[in-house]
Every structure is written in C-alpha cells, then in structure tokens.
C-alpha cells in the first residue's frame, strides 16, 4: 500500500562528526588525500573533478601510499580494473583505527586491498551513531538486526555493542573473516555470520517468517553471489526493499539504505521506499566528507527510516 509523508521531507546533507582519527585533507583531479590514523593515503575519487588545493608535491610529501588505477575512464570506477598500491617503506599492510562516540568506542582493522579500499567508508560513521542511538532507545530485551551486503562489519559490531542480536550476511569470505576480526577487536561475540547472496538470503528469511527490528543494507551497483548469482541495483532494488519491509517488526524498527551508484539521486531510494514504508519519519539525502579547504566531497546517498514509536525517542 502506498503511504504518503504527512509533511514534506527535506533532502539532507550528512557528514560524520565523531571522527578524530580520520581526515579528508584534500581532493581534486580525480583523487583524494586522506588520513586514516597516522597513515595518509592517496586514492582515486571519480567525483573529485575539481582542481586540488594543495600541490602535487605536497600530496607526495605527505602520503604513505597511493593507489593507482590503470583505466581510461576517470569518471566511473569498478572493482575489476588493473591497479595497485605504491607504498613507502614505513607503510604497513594493515593497521588499526579508533572511532569515538560519547556512547561507544569502536576499534577497526584497516588494510590496503587490491581494489583500493581500506576496510571502512568513513562517512558511515553517521549511520553508526544512528544505529547505536536507536537500539539503545528501545526497551527490548533482544532486538534483532540484519546487516546485508555487510562488508567488514562496522555496522554489525556497533549494533552488537548496543545489545542487538545481529545477523551479518555477505557474499565475500574475506569480508566475513575481516568482520569477525573487527568483532573480536571490540571484545564482542555471537554475531551470526552468513556466507550467502544477500538477495537470496532475504527472500528465504521472508518465507521463513523471520522478523527483525533493524535492517541495514549497502547494495553495490553490480555484484555476484557465492554461486555466481547476479545482482543489479537498478533491476532488483525495488524487490529487495519490498522484502526488507516484510522482514521488519511493525512496532519497533529502523531501516537504513546507502547507495554509492554514481548518478543515482537520493530521491531514487526515497521513492522506492514510499511504496512500502511510512516515510513520515524518514531522513534522506547525501553523505559528504568535510575538508578544511572548503571542497567537501560527496560520498553516496542514504535513506533512514524509523518506526513512529522509535522516532519519538530521540
């Protein structure tokens, strides 16, 4: 059933405000200069089409490692291109970073991957705060949270730390192992790990009649499951959101969806959700990372919905 918002929703710009050990130093010319703890990296960034504020010499002087992609199309990146890291001798393969919120502390393992990723998306800190605050506000003995396309598990760890029973589903064995390490780094246990295609798992959970209080998803534009299952965001998102709605408890729930497909507006996610959710308490918009030079960097879109009972507790 189509449900309309009671009042017009305003598109928001959202950035993580709790980071001490992450910093966007500069961006431009299709790259970004970032500090993760004590290490500074240069990585490709297709949306940084402007000129950088600092010189190339300044970038090279500061950076411990740089990821270079060998491709002609600078505007659209995929994970199957050739490339690699050029590192200084003092740059380790992996290291740790801390995230501090007044209600919780989070320790995460980072590493230089063959895709140019490092194990976190810093802008997701804003969602970690939302997850912990929402779960902590509930007077439920064991709220259940499902995290699909769950990557290295920061959101799963935060939900578990807040007291939820967490199911973490991802189609990558290395990602699951990494997420388990992050759980153990934070002195936690008993997250349920599911190695499966996320779309298939959600469909099976719906048939089983299982219910959750929280559902987190960060679907990629394209992907493949463990058995070669094909995923296409634009073809399958509508059905996935429909099934997600069917998995959620009617009284106490939250739903978080992030999208990093270049060219898809935040309005896309909101419009899909309107077919199934009461969006009167929704937040939607664009993630961005603040930079001291004033050139803030857009980092995908978000949609966050809380049930009316949950939205009243802030």
Phi, psi at 89, each rounded to 5°: -65, -25
CA 182/CA 122 separation, integer angstroms:
15
* 104 and 125 within one domain: yes
- Same domain? 241 vs 254: yes
- Are residues 236 and 155 part of one domain? yes
Distances (CA, A) of 222 to 45, 152, 227, 232, 265: 18, 18, 15, 5, 17
Question: pLDDT at position 311, please?
Answer: 46
Q: Is residue 180 part of a domain?
A: yes
Query: For residue 59, how far is the Cα from the chain centroid?
Result: 27
Domain boundary (65, 92, 119) is at 92
What pLDDT, on the 0 to 100 scale, is given for residue 194? 97
Whichever domain contains 283, its CATH number is 3.40.50.150
Provide the pLDDT for residue 10: 87
Residue 1, in any domain of the structure? no
Number of domains in the chain: 2
Does some domain include residue 2? no
How large is the average pLDDT for residues 95-106? 96
Q: Give the residue-averaged pLDDT of 96-113.
A: 96
Residue 7: inside a domain, yes or no?
no
User: Do 53 and 108 have their domain in common?
Assistant: no
Enumerate the H helices of the chain as residue ranges.
56-62, 125-137, 154-161, 173-185, 198-208, 233-247, 266-274, 308-311
Distance, CA of 107 to chain centre: 16
Where does a domain end: 32, 57, 92? 92
43: domain CATH number? 2.60.40.1180
Name the β-bridge partners of 13.
Answer: 286
Residue 75: pLDDT band by 50, 70, 90 thresholds?
Answer: very low
Q: In which domain, by residue range, is 69 found? A: 22-92
User: Using 50, 70 and 90 to split pLDDT, how confident is the model at 313?
Assistant: very low
Instruction: Name beta bridge partners: 107.
Output: 98
Say if residue 28 is in the same domain as residue 137: no
Average pLDDT, the chain: 91
Same domain, 188 and 48: no
Which helix (DSSP H) or strand (DSSP E) does residue 37 occupy?
A: none
pLDDT in tens, 169-206: 999 999 999 999 999 999 999 999 999 999 999 999 99
Tokens (6 digits) for 195: 């190695």
For the stretch 201-238, pLDDT in tens is: 999 999 999 999 999 999 988 888 887 888 788 889 99
Same domain for 45 and 116: no
Mean per-residue pLDDT for 57-77?
79
């Amino acid at each position: 059933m189509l449900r309309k918002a009671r009042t017009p929703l305003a598109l928001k710009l959202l950035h993580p405000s709790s980071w001490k050990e992450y910093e966007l130093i500069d961006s431009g010319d299709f790259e970004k200069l970032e500090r993760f703890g004590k290490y500074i990296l240069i990585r490709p960034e297709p949306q940084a089409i402007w000129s950088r504020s600092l010189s190339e010499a300044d970038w090279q002087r500061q950076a411990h490692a740089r990821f270079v992609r060998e491709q002609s199309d600078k505007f659209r990146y995929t994970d199957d291109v050739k490339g690699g890291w050029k590192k200084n001798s003092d740059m380790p393969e992996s290291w740790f970073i801390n995230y501090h919120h007044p209600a919780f502390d989070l320790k995460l393992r980072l590493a230089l991957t063959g895709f140019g990723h490092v194990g976190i998306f810093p802008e997701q800190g804003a969602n970690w705060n939302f997850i912990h605050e929402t779960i902590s506000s509930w007077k439920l003995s064991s709220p259940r949270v499902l995290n699909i396309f769950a990557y290295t598990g920061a959101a799963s760890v935060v939900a578990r730390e807040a007291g939820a029973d967490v199911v973490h589903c991802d189609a990558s064995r290395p990602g699951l192992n990494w997420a388990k390490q992050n759980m153990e780094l934070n002195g936690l246990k008993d997250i349920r790990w599911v190695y499966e295609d996320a779309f298939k798992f959600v469909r099976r959970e719906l048939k089983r009649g299982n219910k959750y209080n929280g559902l987190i998803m960060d679907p990629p534009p394209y992907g493949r499951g463990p058995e070669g299952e094909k995923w296409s965001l634009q073809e399958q998102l509508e059905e996935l959101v429909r099934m997600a709605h069917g998995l959620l408890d009617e009284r106490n729930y939250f739903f978080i969806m992030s999208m990093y497909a270049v060219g898809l507006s935040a309005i896309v996610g909101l419009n899909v959700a309107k077919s199934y959710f009461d969006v009167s308490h929704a937040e939607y918009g664009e993630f961005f990372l603040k930079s001291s030079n004033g050139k803030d960097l857009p980092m995908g879109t978000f949609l966050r919905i809380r049930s009316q009972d949950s939205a009243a507790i802030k």
